[in-house]
Structure 1
């Protein structure tokens, strides 16, 4: 796959510095230090400028803030944009490999007669579509996907192989569900029996409601509600290996990174970022725009716009004071022991 530098520049509406006299062909994308002669690279941070001098890349996409400095290094063309990272995302889309071809409904798919299948829907071999399922136009369902009764899926969704979607789930438009994620599994609800001799399973009879433009990564599990709905808002992106408990409500435009665990009945506002391996206690509330650090253990509510980290999680400014105090602790103890010795006091 090849594109000219001018074609890419026109798509990005970029300003070109060191505009070449002959047409430059771009056949690949790579990091500056690994790029080949016909590759296009991205340089977005000051610390990456050092890689440009010896890079074999034919050209670079550069943020305006560092373009002048970069242009002084050599005479290779650079495409100047306001946000190089977002610009590269457009170019990645341009060079991306097409999805595996799948046309129509495979003869080995099992589809209940009551299901309503939209126009131009593709369903792969081994897929199961249950009773009263509705699938919107242009949705692609790959091999071995199981979609159980009364589920509704919108238009232009892509559901990768071996995804399981349980009964009564509602999914919006333009969603992507990656392989082996599980939507609508029973929530983790158990109580000791009255005689204390066994553990009673509590049925979860609600559902999961997923908005539009939502991505859900591989091996992520989203539990069914006890009653009511577990809700994922529009434009939220969920990484691989994330656990979302029953009756959780997640707002719009959130980002949840791998191995995060969100316990039952947590409420997460809009635009929240939850970093990898963070855990959130049940029934807590995370305000809109909050940031939860990696490996954080959230034990209480987090106000809107605040950043919390550590275990248990505290506001970042408060936690920084604790870390500074801990680093000083050995020297403080040394001084304390010296003082105790001078006063003939045992510690």
Structure 2
């Protein structure tokens, strides 16, 4: 009865990365550059895979799906953050905040499962190469991608439903640069017990199940690589997997640091820094990691550029 008489907030103020005025403009240009690289890199990867027939394999369909997730994840967070760097009052409305929270969860959870699916794909390719086309067929690949996005939407819907039921009537300053789980719970004057239980249960599953899948896949992969007789074959196999291991380590390390410890343990600065890695840095790094260390992508990109140059010359000639 007490909560009914309280007034719920209609807008929030985002605290941002820093409150030092001298850093606002430099950070704006830094993160603007990061965002442009992220969008160009991920959309470029998707376009390259779509128009390069030699990349029409399950492995690269999964990679293009990861690029789509990264591009969307960065777009959910970064543009609003950029606007807040150059505005005095960093206001975000309640519906906009809930929408940002929802889609952040969608693509965050989807990335967890996509990295696990990609690890399984590499396990089959290296440990059971003769069965790869049967085990990871195009139909299976499509179902795995659909499952990844379904997990993202189902988990986020659960988070959002219990977040919307909360009443926000305390201070309206979100101590973060976007509408994240713990900073929103801090502002609630309702009981957040169910939200916390949901996070520790469903959140742990969404992090630990993909993490265990990835770890198991790479244990089998390493065993298979060590059984390869030729040194060149071992190096090629390690090279194929090392980029994925690097991307997984950065993403899961920062994600686990943020969500698998009590909010009272980590400081505000540590939470923001950790969040920057999995919301902004990782989406930028993924296309670089997978393209710079992938011979097939380099060859496809070279052919794509040459094909584009040929079309340009023909158009100029006629």
TM-score of the superposed pair, with normalisation by structure 2:
0.21
TM-score scaled by structure 1? 0.20
Q: More strand by proportion, 1 or 2?
A: 1
By relative contact order (CA 8 Å, sep 6+), the higher-ranking structure is 2
Structure whose CA Rg is larger: 1
